[in-house]
Amino acid sequence: MHLARGSGTLNLNSDIDKIFTEELLQRSVKTQKELIKKAVKILKVNGELIYSTCSILKEENERIIEEILKLPNIEIMPINEQIFKEVPLLPVNIKGTICICPSDLYEGFFVSRLIKNN
Distance (Å, whole) CA 76 – CA 31: 21
Contacts of residue 95, defined as CB under 8 A and 6 or more positions apart, other chains included, come to: 76, 78
| Catalytic residue list contains 99 | no
Distance (Å, whole) CA 103 – CA 64: 24
Identified catalytic residue from 54, 76, 79, 111: 54
Measured CA angle at 67 (ends 66, 68), to 5 deg:
95
Would you please indicate which residues are annotated as catalytic (active-site) residues?
54
